Amino acid sequence: MTMRSGDRSTVLSRLEDPLELVGIGSKESASVQTKTVSGVAVSARVLTDAEARSVYGVNLAGKGIQAVWMRVANKTSAEQWMLAAHLDPDYFTADEAAHEFRYHHGGFGFSAMQQRFRDLSMRARIGARETLEGHVLVPRKEGGRFVEITVNGSGIVRRFGFPLRTPDGHFDFERMDVAAHSQTANLTRAQLRDRLKKIPATTKNAAASADGDPLNLVIVGETPLMMSSMSECGWSFTHRIDGTTVRRMISAALRGNPYLTAPVSSLYVFGRKQDVAFQRARSNLSQRNHLRLWRAPFTVESRPVWIGQVSRDIGIRLTSKSPTLTTHVIDPMVDESRQFVLESLLYRFRISHFGFSRATAPVYPSQPEQNLTGDNYFTDGLRLVVFLSQSPVSSEKVKNLGWDHTKQGPIEFGQSRPN
């Protein structure tokens, strides 16, 4: 498509038609999310790799670039400014991104392509009563990202947070169908505390014949809120285990490449494998925090309850106990990973209440338990319970449920059993 210099409307109009993307449990329109704060409305979505290639005419994903589309409708009488660095401090300028494709056509037509990138970019200044739309180019993330757009003007800083997903057919959330899990009871908080004591202390294998990692996490919150909160706190979505993702994982392990959405193995609670998993990965495939969540067969105060398992991977080894013939080695001090979840959610002001629920007696380093692949772990035997909040809650206003605690304090590395 030929585009005249400065003709932004021709290209941007191609994004008007909403797309049907696979959502949580059913197809939903995930094309655009919109929020309004103090007279300014912001809409946003992340373009898929295919969309970006169609719009820009080149393969942005191949250069590790992702396009975030937005529209800012300034309904106030003062000019506003969109702060791109708040969205991602590592964003690409239009010319910087275009320069990556300077040899795409053997050098011919580069000026036209460069102008195309400029015309597609989002402008920083939005005049009074003006509506602008465009793109910010950011480092590519698979599965989705939490996008925070900041608009500043007339003495007001407006922040707009959007959890945006980009399905590719391999993510576990694309097949999550929480509506299929029957809810047997709606509990009060006191009843929840009692019910949690009846939940098994650990995950199981598929046959329920062996114990796995400890179930050390409980999250109370609606599905979209749970997923957006985890995304906002830096947790990535994960791929399912299938032929494509296993090959990619093995290749990443052999070559030392990052795979930030690598699958996690299946563990079982309530007779089924996890409904969804998240991870915070480093550039090294062998190192990551990861957690699995299962929708519980009950609610509390009409809100969904998620039972979880979280641990930290510190290495990879071969094993015949895994369908991928490899397994991650976990950090045996699993309480640290549980604490990391609490701190990451507190940091992003996503918790209204938290506490701890007794799951099992303490397990000490001198007599550790083992998970399904033979890794040792020890724990104080408590589960973290968090109630998520739709609106931000500052740390000093978060309330402690005041449930269970350990008399010995957290079990640190090397601590032996008390006499």
- Report yes or no on 5 lying in a domain: no
At residue 301, the 3 state secondary structure works out as coil
Spatial CA neighbour of 119 closest among 18, 32, 2: 2
- Taking the alpha carbons at both ends of the chain, their separation in whole angstroms is 78
DSSP letters, 361-409, are --B-TTS-EE-TTS-EEBB-SEEEEEEE-SS---GGGPEE------TT-
- Report yes or no on 7 lying in a domain: no
Region of residue 248 (left: phi > 0; alpha: psi -120 to 50; beta: else): alpha
Quickly count: other Cβ atoms within 10 Å of residue 374's Cβ: 11
Last residue of a domain, one of 166, 199, 220: 166
Cross-strand pairs, 308: 217, 293
Residue owning tokens 């106030």: 76
- Are 49 and 198 members of one domain? no
Cross-strand pairs, 27: 22
- Are 193 and 152 members of one domain? no
Last residue of a domain, one of 120, 145, 166: 166
- Are 124 and 228 members of one domain? no
- Report yes or no on 293 lying in a domain: yes
- Are 197 and 292 members of one domain? yes
- Are 143 and 288 members of one domain? no
Range of the domain at 313: 172-400
pLDDT tens for the 419 residues of the chain, in order: 333 334 554 444 444 433 333 222 323 334 688 999 999 999 999 998 999 999 999 999 999 999 999 999 999 999 999 999 999 989 999 999 999 998 876 656 889 999 999 999 999 999 999 999 999 999 988 877 888 899 999 889 998 988 787 777 777 777 787 776 777 799 999 999 999 999 999 999 999 999 999 999 999 999 888 988 988 888 888 888 888 888 887 777 777 777 777 777 889 999 999 999 988 866 555 556 788 999 999 999 999 999 999 988 776 655 555 555 556 667 888 898 899 999 999 998 999 999 999 999 999 999 999 988 888 899 999 999 999 998 889 989 999 999 998 655 555 544 555 44
Q: How many domains does the chain have?
A: 2
- Are 100 and 246 members of one domain? no
- The CATH number for 26's domain is 2.60.40
- Report yes or no on 412 lying in a domain: no
- Are 131 and 159 members of one domain? yes
At residue 189, the 3 state secondary structure works out as helix
- Are 83 and 204 members of one domain? no
| pLDDT at site 4 | 38
| pLDDT at site 326 | 57
- Are 138 and 24 members of one domain? yes
- Are 259 and 129 members of one domain? no
Q: Which two structure tokens, joined as six digits, stand for 30?
A: 């995930």
Confirm if 14 and 7 have CB atoms less than 8 A apart. no
- Report yes or no on 11 lying in a domain: no
- Are 261 and 307 members of one domain? yes
- Report yes or no on 419 lying in a domain: no
Report the relative pairing of strands 288-300 and 186-187 from DSSP bridges: parallel
| pLDDT at site 222 | 92
- Are 298 and 323 members of one domain? yes
Confirm if 125 and 140 have CB atoms less than 8 A apart. no
- Report yes or no on 27 lying in a domain: yes
Q: What is the value of pTM for the model shown?
A: 0.74
- Report yes or no on 8 lying in a domain: no
| pLDDT at site 323 | 57
Last residue of a domain, one of 104, 139, 166: 166
| pLDDT at site 342 | 94
